[in-house]
């Protein structure tokens, strides 16, 4: 074995590795496609084909023990969040909540997202410089989600405050801390009360859809979501759909500034933006690590992963795998590819993908019409570190008009 292989080390907690993971991920793909970390007791799959295959095999690669390394343990998590369920429980719940994610509801949001994005960017007009993440990318998704759910305007400021606090991170313990937990309880109680009130007074919003959708199970029984189940689901949407979109747009600001020619092409031709959003997701995955628990031994590349093991699927590495994407470390808005795994794959494929794509596209359209170019102040830029979400928390920019 070469020295490089002996020294090969990766875990999702190391802040320095997380800042520049692509070198080590490449080494893992080449030399240790079934990587073993004894310190934190997990395996990791880094090649596109392996991540995709494992995502398609929920029977063997289960989500029921959690999907975030620090909360995974021998005991299944319990609770009703669909992201931590396997089929058939997952299938029933997903079919039910998918009823609320109708194409109609999504298309109604197009104008709303544009109005919110334009308002946030216009508020910065004349400032010269602003923080693209704090003043824009981090606010847009929480406003969009509360609008999607149907949070009344009088309550929106408080709800946004609670969503912010939900993502409070403390050194050493990360996202599992009292401040975040207290916000979660208040948000849950608020949503529960709103859902109860929608039962009596339906409106044209997702909260109403959630408590009123019915599905007929294979055994003929008709099922609805209870108010507590709906409240849990709404919190999952907020958790899954806020931080991730903020990271996508933050990456857009940084990566496009590193590729000014491609940015100029996008500013000149907005029809290129949807593919640029896909390329951004492939190139810098906002949610690069998905945990799974093996229910049976898995034989792969000459290694046996025992049953009852933690396995991390490195979607962020899969996006750079040259076995799938020629010259994968090159950012190219014209790249032609069939799909990526940055929204996951298989049964847990991101339920909010259409919404995330719309927010990415409209966010960029509104940015580029106002500011065809900008300069990132790298000295002031800060990364956010959690073991699941990766990206920038501060991206100061000096924006340039035509
Ligand atoms: C750029 C933005 C986003 C990224 C990169 C992203 C990424 C992902 C990934 C990787 C998964 C799969 C997790 C797994 O396999 O364990 C997932 C699932 C999910 N996402 Fe997203 N997401 C984004 C935006 C959103 C939005 C806007 C929403 C909702 C409003 C959302 C809701 C969900 C839900 C509910 C699931 C669980 C689906 C299931 O278990 O069946 N996501 N997302």
Structural domain total, the chain: 1
Token pair in block for residue 365: 């359209």
**Mean pLDDT, rounded, for 173-181:** 82
pLDDT of 290 over the 50 cut = yes
pLDDT of 3 over the 70 cut = no
pLDDT band of residue 6 (cuts 50, 70, 90) is: low
Token pair in block for residue 256: 């496009």
With beta carbons less than 8 A apart as the criterion, state whether 66 and 86 touch: no
Task: Give the distance (Å) from ligand 1 centre to CA of residue 254.
Answer: 22
The ligand 1 site (C-beta within 6 Å) comprises: 63, 67, 82-83, 94, 145, 236-237, 240-241, 244-245, 248, 286-287, 290, 315, 342-344, 348, 350-352, 355-356
Write the residue with the smallest CA distance to atom 3 of ligand 1.
Answer: 244
Strands (E) across 96-143 are located at 129-131
HSE-CB of 302 using CA atoms within 13 angstroms: 3
**Mean pLDDT, rounded, for 176-182:** 88
pLDDT of 342 over the 90 cut = yes
Does 101 or 293 have the greater pLDDT score? 293
Token pair in block for residue 387: 């073991």
Out of 9-13, 329-333, 387-391, least confident range: 387-391
Q: Closest ligand 1 atom, CA of 83?
A: 40
Q: CA-to-CA distance for 398 and 402, rounded, in angstroms?
A: 13
Write the residue with the smallest CA distance to atom 31 of ligand 1.
Answer: 352
pLDDT of 164 over the 60 cut = yes
pTM value is 0.94
Q: Closest ligand 1 atom, CA of 313?
A: 15
The number of angstroms, rounded, from the C-alpha of 126 to the middle of its chain's C-alpha atoms is 32
pLDDT band of residue 362 (cuts 50, 70, 90) is: very high
Sequence-separated (6 or more) residues with CB below 8 Å from residue 58: 86, 87, 90, 346, 347, 348
With beta carbons less than 8 A apart as the criterion, state whether 315 and 283 touch: no
Q: Show the DSSP H helices in 201-352 as ranges.
A: 206-212, 227-241, 243-258, 260-268, 273-283, 315-318
Does 95 or 280 have the greater pLDDT score? 280
Write the residue with the smallest CA distance to atom 17 of ligand 1.
Answer: 350
Over the stretch 32-79, which tens digit does the pLDDT of each residue have?
A: 999 999 999 999 999 999 999 999 999 999 999 999 998 899 999 987
Write the residue with the smallest CA distance to atom 12 of ligand 1.
Answer: 344
3-state DSSP call for residue 342? strand
- Ligand 1: residue of 66, 69, 240 to mutate (most ligand atoms within 8 A of CB) is 240
- Ligand 1: residue of 352, 358, 363, 387 to mutate (most ligand atoms within 8 A of CB) is 352
Q: Closest ligand 1 atom, CA of 85?
A: 40
**Mean pLDDT, rounded, for 158-163:** 89
What is the average pLDDT score of the chain? 92
With beta carbons less than 8 A apart as the criterion, state whether 333 and 361 touch: no
Q: Tell me if the bond preceding 88 is cis, omega within 30° of 0.
A: yes
Task: Give the distance (Å) from ligand 1 centre to CA of residue 245.
Answer: 10
324 burial type by CB count under 10 A (0-12 exposed, 13-18 middle, 19+ buried): buried
Range of the domain at 139: 3-400
- In this structure, are strands 310-314 and 42-45 parallel, antiparallel, or unpaired? parallel
Write the residue with the smallest CA distance to atom 6 of ligand 1.
Answer: 343
Q: Closest ligand 1 atom, CA of 141?
A: 27
Q: CA-to-CA distance for 35 and 9, rounded, in angstroms?
A: 9
pLDDT at 81: 86
**Mean pLDDT, rounded, for 266-271:** 98
Task: Give the distance (Å) from ligand 1 centre to CA of residue 240.
Answer: 5
Q: CA-to-CA distance for 75 and 63, rounded, in angstroms?
A: 12
**Mean pLDDT, rounded, for 263-269:** 98
Dihedral sign, Cα of residue 79, residue 85, residue 87, residue 91: positive
pLDDT at 319: 98
3-state DSSP call for residue 327? coil
pLDDT of 393 over the 90 cut = yes
Q: CA-to-CA distance for 238 and 77, rounded, in angstroms?
A: 20
pLDDT at 106: 86
- Ligand 1: residue of 232, 350, 390 to mutate (most ligand atoms within 8 A of CB) is 350
CATH number at residue 390: 1.10.630.10
3-state DSSP call for residue 216? strand
Out of 169-183, 255-269, 289-303, least confident range: 169-183
Strand partners, 342: 344
With beta carbons less than 8 A apart as the criterion, state whether 259 and 331 touch: yes
Task: Give the distance (Å) from ligand 1 centre to CA of residue 373.
Answer: 30
Task: Give the distance (Å) from ligand 1 centre to CA of residue 91.
Answer: 16
Q: Which helix (H) or strand (E) holds 313?
A: strand 310-314
With beta carbons less than 8 A apart as the criterion, state whether 260 and 298 touch: no
Write the residue with the smallest CA distance to atom 24 of ligand 1.
Answer: 241
Over the stretch 139-160, which tens digit does the pLDDT of each residue have?
A: 999 999 999 999 998 998 899 8
Q: Closest ligand 1 atom, CA of 55?
A: 15
Dihedral sign, Cα of residue 24, residue 327, residue 271, residue 354: negative
pLDDT of 4 over the 70 cut = no
Task: Give the distance (Å) from ligand 1 centre to CA of residue 242.
Answer: 10
């Amino acid at each position: 074995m070469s020295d490089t292989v002996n020294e090969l080390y990766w875990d999702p907690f190391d802040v320095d590795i997380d800042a520049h993971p692509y070198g080590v991920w490449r080494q893992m793909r080449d030399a240790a496609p079934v990587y073993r970390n004894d310190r934190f007791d997990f395996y990791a799959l880094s090649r596109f084909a392996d991540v995709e295959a494992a995502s398609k095999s929920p029977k063997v690669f289960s989500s029921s023990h959690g999907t975030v390394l620090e909360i995974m343990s021998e005991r299944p998590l319990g609770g009703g969040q669909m992201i931590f369920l396997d089929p058939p429980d997952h299938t029933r719940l997903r079919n039910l909540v998918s009823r609320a994610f109708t194409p109609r509801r999504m298309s109604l949001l197009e104008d709303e997202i544009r109005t919110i994005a334009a308002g946030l960017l216009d508020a910065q007009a004349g400032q010269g410089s602003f923080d693209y993440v704090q003043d824009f990318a981090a606010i847009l998704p929480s406003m969009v989600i509360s609008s999607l759910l149907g949070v009344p305007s009088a309550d929106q400021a408080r709800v946004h405050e609670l969503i912010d606090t939900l993502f409070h991170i403390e050194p050493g313990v990360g996202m599992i801390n009292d401040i975040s937990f207290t916000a979660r309880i208040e948000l849950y109680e608020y949503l529960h009360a709103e859902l109860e009130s929608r039962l009596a007074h339906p409106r044209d919003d997702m909260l109403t859809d959630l408590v009123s959708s019915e599905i007929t199970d294979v055994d003929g029984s008709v099922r609805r979501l209870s108010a507590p189940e709906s409240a849990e689901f709404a919190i999952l949407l907020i958790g899954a759909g806020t931080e991730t979109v903020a990271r996508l747009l933050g990456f857009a600001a940084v990566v496009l500034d590193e590729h000014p020619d491609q940015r100029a092409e996008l500013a000149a031709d907005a029809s290129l933006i949807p593919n640029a959003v896909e390329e951004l997701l492939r190139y810098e995955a906002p949610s690069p690590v998905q945990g799974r628990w093996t229910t049976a031994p898995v034989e792969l590349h000459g290694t046996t992963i025992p049953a009852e093991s933690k396995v991390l699927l490195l979607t962020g590495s899969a996006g750079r795998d040259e076995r799938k994407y020629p010259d994968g470390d090159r950012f190219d808005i014209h790249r032609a590819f069939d799909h990526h795994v940055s929204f996951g794959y298989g049964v847990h494929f991101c339920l909010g993908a259409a919404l995330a794509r719309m927010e990415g596209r409209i966010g960029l359209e509104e940015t580029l019409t106002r500011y065809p170019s900008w300069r990132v102040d790298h000295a002031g830029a800060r990364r956010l570190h959690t073991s699941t979400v990766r990206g920038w928390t501060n991206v100061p920019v000096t924006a340039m008009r035509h």
